[in-house]
Amino acid sequence: MIEALTFKGDTIAVFGLGRSGISAALSLQAGGAKVWAWDDNEQTRNTASAHGVKLADLTSADWSEIDALVLSPGVPHELPETHWSAKCAKDADVPIICDIEIFAREVMARAPERRPKIIAITGTNGKSTTTTLIGHILSQCGRDAQVGGNIGRGVLDLDSMHDNAFYVLELSSYQLERTYSLKPNASVFLNLTPDHLDRHGDMKGYEAAKARIFDNQTREDAAIIGVDGPEGKSACTRLIAKNNRRVLPISGRRSLGRGVCVIKGKLYNVMDKRCEMIVDLTKAVGLDGEHNWQNAAAAFAAVRALGLDAKAIGRAILSFPGLEHRMENIGSVGSAKYVNDSKATNADAVAQALKSYDNIYWIAGGVAKEGGIESLTPYFKNINRAYLIGDAAPDFMATLKDKKIPAKISGELRMAIMCATRDALASKAKNPVILLSPACASFDQFKNFEIRGDEFRKLALEIVSIYDRERANAAIVKGAA
């Protein structure tokens, strides 16, 4: 845990006692702050108290005694409606911050030569993959990589700071809008598409929140920007014009005069005064799909900007196992492979998987999102057969029947994977893919997408084990004949 020593002696209110709230409260308490923590939910308060968090009812607090409010990222301080705790803070001129700001102040309190390296990643899509990939590269290259923020461990739950540590942080717009002191050595801005507009008002507000990742950088820092979309291009142009930091454009689909780009699956380094092919991403089993090419370019640029060897980075990229539940390769039976994409809970996410493979035996369904799967029509040509589960099965069946895509209602995941495996192995299709990419939430049959993905993985590995055992037995019998 990182102790928040910069707040020693201060009275800090903490509202929202989920993962980040509990983490912030315990960090502040360990650093010597007086913590008043609260949540609207009694059960959540009880859980926090059991972890050692000191509770105080903020609805009746004297806000003139409070030095700062640490507000959970999911609690709005302005739009769509100001939460009562944020209103109390504003009325008393109490600054509103988040756990990332606490972390940033701890970093900046250290002497410059003793500060750990910070790599911060944001964007609408690809944050988790890029963050995890950067952590993997650093670890493979012998660095102490601490990965967290909006993924995995909360930032203040990461290991205590030391001079040689690298903190790799996935940051959401909700976190960035309440962070003021963060100065990343490398900031990554992947892309921007409409999301969370109720919270930020419009695309301009959403982009402004994301762009805060660059605010405190100086000439020795790197700003890495995906330029495959219009928002990234304009952000790149603006930062280059300021001429106060190293700006590195990245692209997953076109050549660049400088930066890092991927052309037909090959990643090129154009950062070091010459163009050098580093790695063939089509051989990176943990980065299936063209949408991952920009993620790989971003990861390369970030760690190369901090001095890691280019060839070593390339080798580490090839060894990346991928992210759980995001086009995760599980194993194979014969020529058919299993891919767990349980995180794909909407059609936009499923599109990335469907356009990445041919000869798909598609498992989909659950609790449908608005719009269904109609938007996936351009990718239906890659589906050999669909196996539908959960509440959405009848509606999905109607859509697929209308598009003349063979499909059946399997009901539950076990039946779906068994039928998909049987059909894939019986087919003459080249390298068939048994793909769980549900286009749905999970809560009709599973608590969350992680449990759904874990069940798919368990079932797939059971089938792989049986298949391998039967092949081994057949070989033994043949050898003994």
For residue 348, the SS3 value is helix
339: nearest Cα among 207, 433, 413, 421:
433
Separation between Cα atoms, residue 22 and residue 28, nearest integer Å? 10
Separation between Cα atoms, residue 247 and residue 238, nearest integer Å? 10
118: nearest Cα among 182, 214, 172:
182
Judge contact between 300 and 311, C-beta under 8 A.
no
Residue reference for tokens 């952590």: 135
Judge contact between 97 and 178, C-beta under 8 A.
yes
Separation between Cα atoms, residue 327 and residue 339, nearest integer Å? 6
Residue reference for tokens 């944050």: 127
Residue reference for tokens 């002191």: 181
Separation between Cα atoms, residue 230 and residue 19, nearest integer Å? 35
**Which segments of the chain have a pLDDT < 50?**
none
On the question of a cis peptide bond just before residue 116, with omega within 30 degrees of 0, the verdict is no
Distances (CA, A) of 305 to 40, 108, 149, 185, 321: 44, 21, 21, 9, 23
Q: How many CA atoms lie within 13 A of 258 on its CB side?
A: 10
Q: Which DSSP letter does residue 245 get?
A: S
25: nearest Cα among 70, 85, 74, 64:
70
Residue 201 Rama label (left phi>0; alpha psi -120 to 50; beta): left
pTM: 0.86
330: nearest Cα among 422, 417, 438:
417
What pLDDT is recorded for position 481?
55
What pLDDT is recorded for position 310?
97
Written as one string, the DSSP assignment of 306-317 is TT--HHHHHHHH
Q: Which domains does the chain have, with CATH numbers?
A: 5-97 (3.40.50.720), 104-318 (3.40.1190.10), 328-470 (3.90.190.20)
Judge contact between 44 and 19, C-beta under 8 A.
no
Burial class (CB in 10 A: 0-12, 13-18, 19+), 374: exposed
Beta partners for residue 337, in sequence order: 332, 433
For residue 320, the SS3 value is coil
For residue 185, the SS3 value is coil
Q: Say which residues have a Cβ less than 8 Å from residue 332's Cβ, sequence separation at least 6.
A: 338, 464
What pLDDT is recorded for position 418?
97
